[in-house]
Amino acid sequence: MEKRRMTKEEREEQIIQAAKEVFIERGYMGATTLELAKRANISEVTLFRYFPSKSELFLATISPIMAKSIELVLQGQGYTPIRALKEFLKERIFFIAHNREIIKLLLIESEMHHELSEQVNIIEQNLTMLKELVRRIGLPEEQNSLLLRMTIGMLTSFLFIPIENEWEIERDVQEFLNRIDFLFIHTVSK
């Protein structure tokens, strides 16, 4: 029986999935194109036909993760500013919980390789969105800073203290959101 050839899209996906594994294991600098090709069960020549450089393959590997849009939350969908912040946090925490290893890789690589950091600066992108959401709430400036620090700490904790079960994530997200509500109720009512 004759083996079916992969389509271009199938081959690209095969390369990207193999590259994701190698980049997570070895980092950007530690991964060689030879190793990337071997993991994908292809030759280096074939690898370069699909991705002319290691950096292009790295960006293709992380693009689907980075493309996860939260614009609908920022646009509000009719949400109050506090509700928009809650939805943003919930979405980001679930996102981090499900993409922990690749996000840690991005944080490390964007600091070490400035050519990548401009294209992959997830901290700055998320901080900008978070600042805008907090600004819309209308808290005093010192409360904005406190809320930003608390929120960044919460989000970062999911990178280093992983939770595997969906119900645990849901529970922790809700508890954090309850505490944010408590802060807002006391701040806004004063």
DSSP state of 53: S
Tell me the per-residue pLDDT of 56-87, one tens digit each, with 9 for 90 and over.
898 888 876 665 545 545 555 678 877 787 77
188/140 Cα distance (integer angstroms): 9
Tokens 């994530």 belong to 169
Instruction: Tell me what pLDDT residue 29 has.
Output: 87
Name the pTM for this structure. 0.69
Q: What tokens appear for 8 in the block?
A: 């271009």
Residue 187 clears pLDDT 80, i.e. is over it: no
- Name the amino acid, one letter, at 161: I
Please return the burial class of 89, using the count of CB atoms within 10 Å of its CB with bins 0-12, 13-18 and 19+: buried
CA 174 to chain centre: 20
Residues 6+ apart with CB under 8 A from 55: 115, 116
